[in-house]
Amino acid sequence: MVIPSSAPRYALTRTVVVSFLLLFISFTLLFSYHPPFKTTLSKISPFNNSQAPHPPYTAAIIYLARLSHADELLESLASVNVYLPHRDPWPIILFHTGDFDDTPDQDDFLATLREKIGGASNRSDRDFSDRVEFVKLDWVLPEGIPHTKEELDPVSPSSWPGYHHMCAFYSTKIFFNPRLQDVTYYLRMDTDSLFLEPLCYDPFEVMHTRQRSYGYLGVGNDAPIVTKGLWRFLRDYADSHPEVELRLNASKTWKWPRGSANGDVDLDDVSVSGYYNNFEIVKLEEFRKPEVKEWLYHLIQYPEHQEKVISPIDHRFDL
């Protein structure tokens, strides 16, 4: 796997950043390399929002929220309010798993938000806090894996199962979430993601006018401990999907790991590159294409696949 030496190395201390690596893989399968999003943005002139007609797309800013992280979420929302320009007052969707079920909890949160940002923003005719929506998610563990921490022995017991649900949500389920059905682009923010200075362009406009599918912050790689089995899974997938293998073969940036056939390299020690997606912009339609759905379908079947995983050294990798 080739990672440009200039690629930022983020301290990805949290485990199983599967969400971003799976996205990376999806996109590696789908698209040839695009230069990082930010390199293209400087060419775009600042957005002019005076009396612009409705754009031919819809957008949303999304978070996965929890009450325990309400303070940092408020900070993040305040930064969106102040620094993110927009041609339309797109909704801000706070996905949650029950923390905001009660209307008083929602009202309290919004009241605190209003207090924090000081009333109506100047940039839209709709108050910022009026754009906030709460959307409940029902998280269920996949069939085919043990459902207790003790039996499952997850790589990071302290973050089981929430973090793992989060990964499954952002890597597969989100593309088919009913609330996002008619949304063209979403911008994901984590509760600890912040805009630090004004953005001089509307990112959704940029995605649209430049016909982009994905915008991201950087490329990094996870500790191999959290991606065990992934290379073999990919290898199996490519074997059973020649059209995918053909695309991988043709890619200038994608490489199977070298040196794994002679026994020197255990694939489980080889890191997998992925997008660092605490901030990302996604064109949903791209992830709903049949060939991507097929990949996502295989991903969610993975617990069963694990049963038939083979020897740690796979000779087919000596390409």
Ligand X SMILES: *[C@@H]1O[C@H](CO)[C@@H](O)[C@H](O)[C@H]1NC(C)=O
Ligand Y SMILES: Nc1nc2c(ncn2[C@@H]2O[C@H](COP(=O)(O)OP(=O)(O)OP(=O)(O)O)[C@@H](O)[C@H]2O)c(=O)[nH]1
Q: What angle do CA 238, 244, 247 make, to 5 degrees?
A: 125
CA separation for the pair 271, 269 (Å, rounded): 6
The answer to whether 7 and 219 are in contact (CB under 8 A) is yes
Which DSSP string do the residues of 121-154 spell out, in sequence order? -SS-SS-GGGGEEEEE----PPTTS-SSHHHH--
Could you say whether residue 190 binds Mg ion (CB under 5 A)? yes
Nearest approach in angstroms of CB 231 to ligand X is 15
48 binds ligand X (CB under 6 A): yes
- Applying CB under 6 A, among 32, 68, 209, 249 the residue interacting with ligand X is 249
- Closest among 191, 220, 208 to 281, alpha carbons compared: 208
Cβ 271 to ligand Y shortest distance, Å: 15
What's the min distance (Å) between Cβ of 248 and ligand Y?
A: 25
Rounded distance between C-alpha atoms, residue 319 and residue 315, angstroms: 9
Binding mask 260-289 for Mg ion (x = CB under 5 A): ------------------x-----------
- Work out which of 5, 13, 39, 50 binds ligand X, going by CB under 6 A: 50
Closest distance of CB 46 from ligand X, Å:
9
* Chain centroid offset of residue 117 CA: 27
240 binds ligand X (CB under 6 A): no
From Mg ion, ligand X, ligand Y, none, interface partner of 50 (C-beta below 5 to 8 A by class): ligand X
- Beta carbon of residue 119, minimum distance to Mg ion (angstroms, whole number): 29
Q: Which residues bind ligand Y (CB under 6 A)?
A: 12, 14, 17, 63-64, 66, 69, 96-97, 162-163, 166, 190-192, 278
**Closest Cα partner for 218 from 258, 274, 172?**
274
Q: Which does 242 bind (CB under 5 to 8 A by kind): ligand X, Mg ion, ligand Y, none?
A: ligand X
Q: Which two tokens stand for residue 301?
A: 């079947």
The whole-angstrom separation of Cα 311 and Cα 199 is 49
Binding site for ligand X (CB under 6 A): 48, 50-51, 119, 122, 242, 245-246, 249, 319
